């Protein structure tokens, strides 16, 4: 699954799934633009990639801001001249019951998880159309497929939107030789999921260790994802081995939900 000299743009690359994905793409041979709203974290990811003798660019960008998206893409093109792979990973959430979700929650979550994904996809696709080639991989979630353990209903709705736009974008961009797929992580060990787990432990009056055990017991394979599990699927979807796969949403969840 070599990606030698391919150029990959990864949003939310400062930590968690985004960082693991940026490093995995670089390990497969790609040059990487590591974008994150936290510029220092983006730079840390880029520096790690550079230490492995791959080229990397760090960009501070808020994917909910169209001007930032355009600047991010322009910087990528000025540095590398092309974008072959887009990984739409940036996302936000918080743990909340359906009756506790606020308008502020809804707007914040959809601004990044739905609006950000679409307009990053659209902006990069403009360049890929000119190249007559590209791979777009959106990080959705099994929450978008009805997973009962979703952090909140607004998050589930935003990830359902990602799955829907993946399907339609794949159909409309296929004529330009652009593949569009999404990855739907299940329970994954990241700072974001750990914060949600801490809230659940406090709500249930149990230790964090007990909540981690309960979480693992619900997974048929009895283990949560590491970010690298998601990154491995992204690398495959970005590779020539997935050249005839488009419009699909792949669960990486240890068997949590059937699909």
CA pseudo-torsion sign 203, 145, 169, 10:
positive
Give, in order, the Cα–Cα distances in Å from 23 to each of 177, 232, 247.
26, 10, 25
Which residue among the candidates 155, 170, 193, 224 is catalytic per the annotation? 155
Residues 6+ apart with CB under 8 A from 241: 1
Catalytic (active site) residue 147: no
Long-range CB contacts for residues 209-214, cutoff 8 Å, separation at least 24: none
CA–CA separation, 205 and 193 (whole Å): 18
- Report d(CA 250, CA 142) in Å as an integer: 9
Residue 103 CA to residue 176 CA, distance in Å, equals 38
- Taking the C-alpha atoms of residue 232 and residue 254, their distance in angstroms, rounded to an integer, is 14
Helix axes 66-80, 117-131, angle to 10 degrees: 30
With vertex at residue 162, the alpha carbon angle to CA 160 and CA 163, rounded to the nearest 5 degrees, is: 65
Catalytic residue positions?
155
């Amino acid at each position: 699954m070599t990606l030698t000299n391919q150029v990959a743009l990864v949003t939310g690359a400062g930590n968690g799934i985004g960082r693991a994905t940026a490093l995995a793409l670089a390990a497969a041979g790609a040059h990487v633009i590591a974008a994150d709203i936290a510029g220092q974290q983006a730079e840390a990811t880029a520096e790690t990639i550079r230490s492995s003798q791959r080229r990397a660019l760090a960009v501070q960008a808020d994917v909910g801001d169209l001007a930032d998206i355009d600047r991010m893409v322009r910087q990528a093109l000025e540095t590398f001249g092309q974008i072959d792979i887009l990984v739409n990973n940036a996302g936000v959430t918080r743990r909340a019951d359906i009756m506790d979700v606020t308008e502020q929650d809804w707007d914040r979550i959809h601004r990044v998880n739905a609006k950000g994904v679409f307009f990053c996809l659209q902006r990069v696709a403009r360049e890929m159309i000119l190249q007559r080639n590209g791979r777009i991989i959106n990080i959705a979630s099994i929450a978008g497929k009805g997973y009962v353990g979703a952090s909140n209903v607004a998050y589930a709705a935003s990830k359902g939107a990602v799955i829907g736009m993946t399907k339609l974008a794949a159909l409309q961009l296929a004529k330009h030789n652009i593949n569009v797929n999404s990855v739907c992580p299940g329970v994954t060990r990241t700072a974001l999921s750990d914060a949600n787990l801490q809230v659940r432990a406090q709500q249930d009056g149990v230790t964090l260790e007990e909540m981690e055990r309960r979480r693992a017991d619900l997974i048929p394979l009895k283990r949560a994802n590491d970010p690298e599990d998601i990154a491995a699927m992204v690398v495959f979807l970005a590779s020539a081995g997935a050249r005839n796969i488009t419009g699909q949403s792949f669960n990486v969840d240890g068997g949590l939900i059937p699909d």
